[in-house]
């Protein structure tokens, strides 16, 4: 289970950084040819977030945090796919900012949960 936790956490970190870079290139530079790669990495991120949440539930981690991460992962996935249809036009930048903030929140929450699980595995059994 520890190996799966490490893999999920590393995927969240790597995908999070790559998604941020690609998202900024798509948004600021208009490199729309990168959208497919961005979406694929987004799917990998969402799956990794869900796996991390399930691991936390199985290891008796904080259940609220674990369920919250799973729900947030599903919201991020839905919002990423649906964002082109939400508020089209000159105010679409608002949707893009919300998409960015949701993604950053999910990655940050995954880091917090991963840290809790790692500390719990290092703590001496009582």
Contacts of 77 (CB under 8 A, 6+ apart): 42, 43, 46
Do the domain assignments include residue 124?
no
Distance CA(69)–CA(19), nearest Å, equals 18
7 occurs within a structural domain: yes
Residue count of the chain: 126
Asked if the structure places residue 123 within a domain, the reply is no
2-45 pLDDT, tens per residue? 899 999 999 999 999 999 999 999 999 999 999 999 999 999 99
Q: What is the pLDDT of residues 73-125, one digit of tens each?
A: 999 999 999 998 999 899 999 999 999 999 999 999 999 999 999 998 877 76
Domain that holds residue 63: 2-118
Q: How many domains are there within the chain?
A: 1
How far apart (Å, rounded) are the C-alpha atoms in residues 26 and 63? 36
Give the global pTM: 0.91
């Amino acid at each position: 289970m520890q190996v799966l936790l490490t893999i999920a956490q590393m995927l969240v970190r790597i995908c999070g950084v790559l998604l941020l870079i690609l998202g900024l290139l798509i948004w600021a530079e208009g490199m729309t040819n990168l959208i497919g790669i961005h979406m694929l990495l987004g799917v990998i991120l969402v799956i990794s977030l869900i796996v991390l949440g399930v691991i936390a539930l199985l290891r008796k981690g904080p259940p609220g945090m674990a369920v919250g991460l799973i729900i947030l992962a599903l919201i991020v996935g839905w919002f990423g796919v649906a964002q082109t249809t939400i508020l089209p036009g000159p105010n679409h930048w608002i949707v893009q900012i919300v998409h960015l903030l949701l993604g950053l929140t999910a990655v940050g929450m995954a880091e917090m949960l991963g840290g809790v699980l790692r500390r719990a595995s290092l703590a001496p059994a009582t």
